[in-house]
């Protein structure tokens, strides 16, 4: 069994790519109605098209929506047992960074041979504490990258992008390494839940794919939340507050009562693992009208509907407290647990598990308390589990990544290509 490792120059090239990408502001916008939600995501897309073409992907292109697609043809000789049998396999990562934390003007900070302990953030005087970042203990001696404390880093998911480009560069230097056809895709607006909105499945041409968008070393994520968004709209009645007794219906107070009425044991800050939650993430309005947006998350559709029913019960109770208030709720489907689809054709997962093992790593199968583009793509016809990319403390000014874990993700990606060839030889 061969473990594919990057030599020092390849690791430095991986680091240089990552540092280049994180300094391009690609923050998406939760409230935008256009696609992509921010034009600046196309700045990175255009850069990646140029780099892909330089690596030999002659068909690399950014389409009108900001998606970047490219092909690496199969190099299996005609007499090979798997020639013509290996399905097209995709590798995907997303361009945008989280909408809720500043993502422009990133100032990457480099730690060579990390010695342990809390990591100071120079711009704020705060730290990345080991106490809340247990993965740091596993990265002593590694090269670490973080931001200065004023922005996120962007490892989610520019680490994945850099790893995919590094894999393609490695393939170009090793023409003797046999593989089937690869399709590469970089998607906008994943962080705002719209990453596959204009994704052309037929044009991508892969039945199986992997997002490099996970976290810990050796991690494979084959389940995601089932996810909906609940939008609760409250209409009240405004009058002069000096003459409001018995007349005013304060929509802002009604909204507050709904949030306060949520069960404490089903909030994101009180749950973990496979526990479901309701998360009020946006509350706005005034006396006349208010709106509460809530994320509804659970690993099964039954649990998801149970959380929505719990919200309806809260609304009924609040309506009884505020006669005359008109409260409506709209449920918008976001995505469903990819595990439902992967279970129908599990080799895409089995091959990922085997690739991690061949790279000499412990396999960590995990259910994501969130979602990726792979959630929707799995229901659109491309089975797409998630593979680790190495980043930690996503969406936070404490975000960091290990270069060694990024290099290991490249190795696992290369292993995947071998496993698919071998799995197609029969």
User: What is the DSSP code string of 156-225?
Assistant: HHHHHHHHHHHHHHHHHH-TTS----EEEEEES-TTTT-TTTT--HHHH--SEEEEEEE-STTEEEEEE-
> How far is Cα 50 from Cα 165, in angstroms, rounded to an integer?
12
pLDDT tens-place string over residues 209-241:
999 998 999 999 999 999 999 999 999 999 999
The bridge status of strand 208-214 relative to strand 89-94 is parallel
The CATH-assigned architecture of domain 8-224+337-423 is 3-Layer(aba) Sandwich (3.40)
For residue 371, pLDDT over 90 is answered with no
Average pLDDT score, the chain: 96
> How far is Cα 14 from Cα 26, in angstroms, rounded to an integer?
20
Q: In the chain, what are the domain boundaries?
A: 8-224+337-423, 227-334
Catalytic residues: 96, 190
Element spanning 94, H or E: strand 89-94
Task: Please state the rounded mean pLDDT for residues 74-99.
Answer: 96
Q: What is the pTM of this model?
A: 0.91
> How far is Cα 356 from Cα 334, in angstroms, rounded to an integer?
30
| Residues 106, 147 contacting (CB under 8 angstroms) | yes
Domains 8-224+337-423 and 227-334 share a fold: no
pLDDT of residue 426: 64
Confidence of residue 319 (pLDDT cuts 50, 70, 90): very high
CATH topology classification for 227-334: Alpha-Beta Plaits (3.30.70)
């Amino acid at each position: 069994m061969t473990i594919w490792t990057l030599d020092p120059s390849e690791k430095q090239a991986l680091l240089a790519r990552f540092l280049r990408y994180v300094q391009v502001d690609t923050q998406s916008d939760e409230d935008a109605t256009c696609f992509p939600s921010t034009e600046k995501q196309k700045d990175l897309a255009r850069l990646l098209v140029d780099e892909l073409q330089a690596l030999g992907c002659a068909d690399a292109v950014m389409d009108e929506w900001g998606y970047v697609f490219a092909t690496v043809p199969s190099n299996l000789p005609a007499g090979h047992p798997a020639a013509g049998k290996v399905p097209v396999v995709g590798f995907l990562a997303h361009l945008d960074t989280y909408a809720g934390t500043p993502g422009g003007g990133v100032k990457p900070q480099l730690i060579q041979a990390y010695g342990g302990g809390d990591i100071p953030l120079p711009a704020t005087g705060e730290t990345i504490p080991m106490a809340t970042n247990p993965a740091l203990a596993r990265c002593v001696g590694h090269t670490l990258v973080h931001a200065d404390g004023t922005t996120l880093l962007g490892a989610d998911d520019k680490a994945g992008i850099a790893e995919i480009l590094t894999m393609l560069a490695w393939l170009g230097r090793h023409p003797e390494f046999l593989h089937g056809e690869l399709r590469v895709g970089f998607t906008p607006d994943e962080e705002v839940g719209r990453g596959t909105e204009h994704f052309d499945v037929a044009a991508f041409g892969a039945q199986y794919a992997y997002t490099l968008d996970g976290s810990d070393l050796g991690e494979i994520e084959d389940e995601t939340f089932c996810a909906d968004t609940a939008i609760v709209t409250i209409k009240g009645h405004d009058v002069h507050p000096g003459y409001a007794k018995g007349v005013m219906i304060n929509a802002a107070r009604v909204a507050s009562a709904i949030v306060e009425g949520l069960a404490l044991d089903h909030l994101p800050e009180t749950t973990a693992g496979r526990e479901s939650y309701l998360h009020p993430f946006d509350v706005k309005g005034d006396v006349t009208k208010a709106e509460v947006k809530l994320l509804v998350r659970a690993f099964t559709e039954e649990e998801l509907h149970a959380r929505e029913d719990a919200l309806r019960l809260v609304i009924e109770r609040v309506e009884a407290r505020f006669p005359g208030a008109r409260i409506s709720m709209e449920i918008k489907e976001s995505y469903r647990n990819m595990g439902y689809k992967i279970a129908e054709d599990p080799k895409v997962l089995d091959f990922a598990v085997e690739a991690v093992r061949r790279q000499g790593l412990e396999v960590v199968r995990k259910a994501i308390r969130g979602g990726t583009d792979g959630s929707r793509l799995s229901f659109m016809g491309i089975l797409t589990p998630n593979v680790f990319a190495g980043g930690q403390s996503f969406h936070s000014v404490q975000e960091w990544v290990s270069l060694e874990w990024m290099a290991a993700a490249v190795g696992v990606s290369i292993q995947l290509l071998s496993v698919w060839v071998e799995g197609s030889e029969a």
